[in-house]
Structure 1
Amino acid sequence: MANLAKLLPLVRDRGAEDRNQSEVLEAALLAFLDFGIKRTSMAEVARRGRLSLATLYRRFASKSDLIQSVGLLQVRRFLEEVDAAVRPFSDSDAAPEDQIVELFVAFLAGLRGDPLLDRLLETEPETVLPYLTVRGAPVIELGRDYLAEFIARLQREGKLPAYDPLPVAEMVARTALSFALTKQTVIPLDDDTAVREFARAHVVPGFRVP
C-alpha cells in the first residue's frame, strides 16, 4: 500500500516545532466544526492550539494554507480508513477483481459518508468547493498516488498486466470525488450489493484485469 506517512499537510519552514503539527491541525479542525470555516479566525486556532499567532503564521502563510492543510489531513485519514478496509482482501490473496471492488466500495463509503464534508458542502459550499475543484489538485494527487500504488502492488504480484498506473488511478480518484460532490445519480450507490455489481461491471475492466 502507499506510504501514508509521506502524505503530509502543506506547511512553511518545517522545523523542530512541527512535532506539534497534528495538534494544531486538530485544533483548527475542531474550530471549523464548531464555528464553520468562515467564522473561524487564525487567532482562535492559535488559542486552541496553545501557540502564539506569530508561530501559527510561521507555519501557515495564510488561513487558506491552513484550510488546505486541514483538508489534506482529512484526506490522509480517509486513505488510512480505505487501506484498513481493503487490507484483509489483499492479505488473504483475494482475486484482483474482488480487491478492486472492495477498494471502490471503501472509497465511495468514505467520501459519501463524511459528516464534515457533507456539512461544509451544505453550509459553506463557496468556501470548500474551490479546494475540491479548481484548487483540488493536492486532493486528487493524494488519492491518485494511493491508487497507483494499489495497482502497482497487483502488478508486482502478477495479477495485473504492466502499464502506467497513474492515468487509471487518477480516473478513479476523480470519479470517486465526483460522486462525493454530486449526490444525485442513477447509480444505486446506497445499496452495497448494487455498488459491488456496478464496480465489477464498470470499474474492474478499467484496471485491465486479465
Structure 2
Amino acid sequence: MAKLAKLLPLVRDAGAEDGNQAAVLDAALMAFLDFGIKRTSMTEVARRGGLSLATLYRRFAGKSELVQAVALWQAKRFVEQVDAAVQAQVDRDASAEDQIVELFIAFLAGLRRNRLLERLLNTEPEIVLPYLTVRGAPVIELGRDYLAEFITRLQSEGKLPQYDPLPVAEMVARTSLSLSLTPQTMIPIDDDAAARRFARAHVVPGLL
C-alpha cells in the first residue's frame, strides 16, 4: 500500500515534522461535515487542527488542495477498511471466489457508511464531483493498485489464472467509483444475501 505522503502529492514538505498530518486532515473532514466545503474556512481548519494559519498554508496552497488531500485520505482509509473487513470475514486459505465475494460485500458496506461522500453529493456536488471525475485519477489509481495487489496475491497462491491484473483492476475500480457516485442501481446493494448471489454470478466471473 502506498504511503500517505505518496497518496497526498499536494501536501507540501511532508516529512517527519508532519507527524500530525492525519490530525489536520481529520480536522478538515469534521469541518466539512459540520459546515460543508463552501462554508469551511482555512482559519477554521487551522483552529481545529491546532496549528497556525501560516503553517496550514505552508502545507496546502489553498482550500482546493486541502479538499483534494482530504478526498485522497478518505479514499485510502476506505480501502484500508474494506481490506480489514475482508480479512475479518474470510480466511486467507478461502477460495478466490469466496474472497472476491467478501471484497464486494465489504465495499458495499463501506459505501453505506461514507457520511462525507453522501453529504457532499447531496449538498455540494459541484465542488466534490470534479475530484471524483475529471480530476479523479488519483482515487482511481488507489483503488486499482489495491485491487491489483489483491489479484496478484490470489494468482501467487494458484487461485486465479495468470494475467495482467492492472487492466482488470482499473475496470473494477472505475465501476466501483461509478456506483459510489450514482447509488441508484438495480444491483442489490442493501441486501447482503442478494449482493453475495449477484457477486458470484456477475463479479467473480470477471476475475476468473
Is TM (by shorter chain) over 0.5? Answer: yes
Residue 8 of structure 2 is aligned to residue 9 of structure 1: yes
Counterpart code for 2:32: F
* Inter-partner Cα distance in structure 2 for 1:138 and 1:5: 13
Q: Give 2:163's aligned amino acid.
A: Y
Alpha-carbon distance in 2 for matches of 1:94, 1:53: 50
Query: In structure 2, what is the equivalent of residue 56 of structure 1?
Result: 56
Sequence identity of aligned pairs in percent?
74
**Aligned-partner SS, 1:189:** coil
Q: Deviations over 1:143-192 (max 9, x none)?
A: 11111100000011011111110111111111111111112212222211
Who is 2:167 aligned against?
167
TM-score (norm 1): 0.92
CA-based RMSD: 1.5
What one-letter code is carried by the residue in structure 2 that aligns with 1:132?
L
Mapping 1:55-94, distance limit 5 Å = 55-88=55-88, 91-94=91-94
* Amino acid across the alignment from 1:118: E
SS at match of 1:91: coil
Say whether 1:186 aligns with 2:186: yes
- 1:136 and 2:136 equivalent? yes
Q: How many pairs align?
A: 206
Output the amino acid matched with 1:206.
G
Query: 1:8: how far off?
Result: 3.6
Runs of 4+ in 1 over 6 A off after TM superposition: none
User: Are 1:126 and 2:135 an aligned pair?
Assistant: no
1:17, distance to aligned residue in structure 2 (A): 2.4
Per-residue deviation at 1:5? 4.1
The structure, 1 or 2, with the larger RCO (C-alpha pairs under 8 Å, 6+ apart) is 1
Contact 2:7 2:138 in 1 (8 A): no
| Residue 51 of structure 2 corresponds to residue 28 of structure 1 | no
Tell me, which stretches of 5 or more residues in structure 2 are unaligned? none
